[in-house]
Amino acid sequence: MAWFKKTRKPMAAPAKEKPSRVPEGLWVKCPGCAQAIYNKDLVTTLNVCPKCGHHFRLGAAERLRTLFDAAWTEYDKDLVSTDPLSFTDTKPYRARLKAGMEGTGLRDAVIVASGAIDGIETMVAAMEYEFIGGSMGVVVGEKIARAIERAIGARMPVVIVCCSGGARMMEGALSLMQMAKICAALARLDRERLPYIAVLTDPTTGGVTASFAMLGDLNIAEPKALIGFAGPRVIEQTIRQKLPDGFQRSEFLMEKGMLDLVVDRRELKATIASALRFMGAGALATQSEAVSP
């Protein structure tokens, strides 16, 4: 077993579904400061390097654990893609789906769940990058749209944690249409005057950015996350020059006026809770009864 590894493996799904995976190494080398960090320390810092503040990527289940006060109720976890295009490139899409499921314990690239954030009942969708790059296909679109509709029914705020390379190519224009599906649901949420907070984490690009990631009542990003529409490589090919340092990173986007704030993960939950209170969500939560899954 290696003592060092470059990137962290995703952590396991909730304990009842899958036993917690033992990390491969005791130590992790931080890509931010190149120092060795004791793996156990990262658990207490929510996977933020205690030395330089580098934010390691979080799995969807870990993300929920960092946001909810206690247990949560998961919805629609059994939805799976049928491979509607029968897509095959260098390998069949079905094989990629299978690998994604085995690697994450999930059926697709998002977990949706409701639970309390600092006492405020909230609907949260957290994307899973280890599942085909967190890409958005019909299942991700359907699960998020259902989550929003459920939140409307229960008069709950919505938080979506984005971590995605964009629309899922292997589902063609059907993935593109998930942008429309989710935006349509968000328009209804908006009309109901219910809060929606978009959390943008590394990476948030393509069709996810050009839909729900940019539509929050607040758009909050984690530090130094890659956020953009076109990928950096595509832009470099178009303009035939190197991109400036920090281009398409959180701080750059905030400077350009596209983000409301950039927040350290260790402050994220408190920031979301205070924003939700500003938006009146505390009062909403006391009105609403338990949500039926």
Partner 1 sequence: MPLETLEFEEPIAALLKEIEALTQLPRTDARDREIEALGRRLVTVRGTLYKSLTPWQRVLVARHPNRPGLEDFIQRLFTGFVEIHGDRRFADDHALMTGFAEFKGQPVLLVGHVKGGDTKEKIFRNFGYARPEGYRKALRAMRLAEKFRRPIIVFVDTPAAYPGIESEERGVAEAIAVNIRDMTVLDTPIIVIVSGEGGSGGALGIAIGDRVLMQEFAIYSVIPPEGCAALVWRDSSKKAEAAAALKLTAPDLLEFGIIDEIVKEPIGGAHTDPAAAAQLVDDVLTRVLAEVGAMTSDARLAKRYEKFRNMGRAGIEFLEE
| Interacting residues toward Zn ion by CB under 5 A | 30, 32-33, 49, 51-52, 54
Least gap, CB of 45 to Zn ion (angstroms) = 10
Q: Which does 51 bind (CB under 5 to 8 A by kind): Zn ion, partner 1, none?
A: Zn ion
Task: Identify the three-state secondary structure at position 98.
Answer: helix
Write the interaction track for partner 1 spanning residues 195-234; mark x where CB under 8 A is met and - where it is not: -----------xx-xxxxxxx------------xxx---x
Q: Which does 78 bind (CB under 5 to 8 A by kind): Zn ion, partner 1, none?
A: partner 1
CA angle 70, 112, 7 (to 5 degrees): 85
Q: How far apart are the first and last CA of the chain?
A: 42
Q: Which does 7 bind (CB under 5 to 8 A by kind): Zn ion, partner 1, none?
A: none
Least gap, CB of 105 to partner 1 (angstroms) = 13
Give the burial class of 198: count Cβ atoms within 10 A of its Cβ; 0-12 exposed, 13-18 middle, 19 or more buried: buried
**Which residue lies nearer to Zn ion by CB, 51 or 94?**
51
Cα 282 to Cα 61: distance, rounded to the nearest angstrom:
24
Give the burial class of 55: count Cβ atoms within 10 A of its Cβ; 0-12 exposed, 13-18 middle, 19 or more buried: buried
Least gap, CB of 147 to partner 1 (angstroms) = 13
Cα 260 to Cα 221: distance, rounded to the nearest angstrom:
8
Residue 279 backbone class (left: φ over 0; alpha: ψ -120 to 50; beta: rest): alpha
Residues of this chain, 232-271, that bind partner 1 according to CB under 8 A: 234-235, 238-239, 243, 247-248, 256-258
Non-local CB neighbours of 243 within 8 Å, separated by 6+ positions: 232, 235, 236
Write the interaction track for partner 1 spanning residues 16-55; mark x where CB under 8 A is met and - where it is not: ----------------------------------------
Least gap, CB of 128 to partner 1 (angstroms) = 17
How many residues bind to partner 1 according to rule CB under 8 A? 63
Strand partners for 178:
none
User: Is position 6 an interface residue for partner 1 (rule: CB under 8 A)?
Assistant: no
Cα 67 to Cα 106: distance, rounded to the nearest angstrom:
19
Name the strands in the sheet holding 218-221, side by side, starting at the edge strand that comes first in the sequence: 73-75, 110-117, 120-127, 158-164, 196-204, 218-221, 261-262
- Residue at token pair 């400077």: 255
Least gap, CB of 229 to partner 1 (angstroms) = 4
Residues that bind partner 1 (CB under 8 A): 78-85, 87-90, 107, 137-139, 141-142, 145, 167-169, 171-181, 183-188, 190-191, 206-207, 209-215, 228-230, 234-235, 238-239, 243, 247-248, 256-258
